[in-house]
Amino acid sequence: MNNSLQFLDKKIELSNDKIHVFLLNLEEFNYKEFLFCLSEEESERATRLKVEEKKKQFVVTRAVLRKLLSKSLSKVEEEIVFLYGQHKKPYIENKLNNKSVEFNISHSGEYALIAITLDRKVGVDIEKINNDVDYQSLSKRFFSEKENKELDKTDKEKKLDAFYRAWVRKESFIKAIGKGIVFGLDNFSVSLGDNKKNKVNIVSKDIDSEQWYCYDLMEVINYKTALTSCNESAEIIFYQ
Boundary-marking domain end, from 97, 124, 151:
124
Closest to 167 measured CA to CA, from 207, 224, 221, 122: 224
The reply to whether 19 and 116 lie within a common domain is: yes
Same domain, 197 and 114: no
- Do 28 and 48 have their domain in common? yes
- Give the residue among 41, 17, 24 at the shortest CA–CA distance from 237: 17
Structural domain including 163 reads 125-230
Blockwise average pLDDT, block size 10, the chain, 240 residues: 62 90 93 91 92 94 94 92 86 93 96 95 96 95 94 95 95 88 84 84 67 89 94 84
Judgement on whether residues 115 and 169 belong to the same structural domain of the protein: no
pLDDT at res. 74: 92
Q: Is residue 235 part of a domain?
A: no
Q: Are residues 15 and 116 in the same domain?
A: yes
How far is Cα 71 from Cα 113, in angstroms, rounded to an integer? 18
Q: Which of 105, 124, 143 is the last residue of a domain?
A: 124
For residue 238, being part of any structural domain is answered with no
Q: How many Cβ atoms sit within 10 Å of the Cβ of residue 93?
A: 10
pTM of the entire predicted model:
0.92
Evaluate whether residue 159 is within a structural domain.
Answer: yes
Measure the CA–CA gap between 110 and 238, rounded to whole angstroms: 18
> Are residue 131 and residue 226 in the same domain, yes or no?
yes
| Pair (27, 93) in one structural domain | yes
In a domain, 239, yes or no: no
Flag whether 217 is in a domain: yes
In a domain, 143, yes or no: yes
CA distances from 99 to 18, 38, 86, 124, 233 (A): 14, 25, 21, 21, 18
Please tell me whether residues 117 and 169 are part of one structural domain.
no
Residue 237, domain member (yes or no): no
pLDDT of residue 1: 39
Task: Please report, for the domain that includes residue 117, its CATH number.
Answer: 3.90.470.20
240 belongs to a structural domain? no
Q: Do both 154 and 106 map to the same domain?
A: no
Query: Do 91 and 200 share a structural domain?
Result: no
Q: How many domains does the chain have?
A: 2
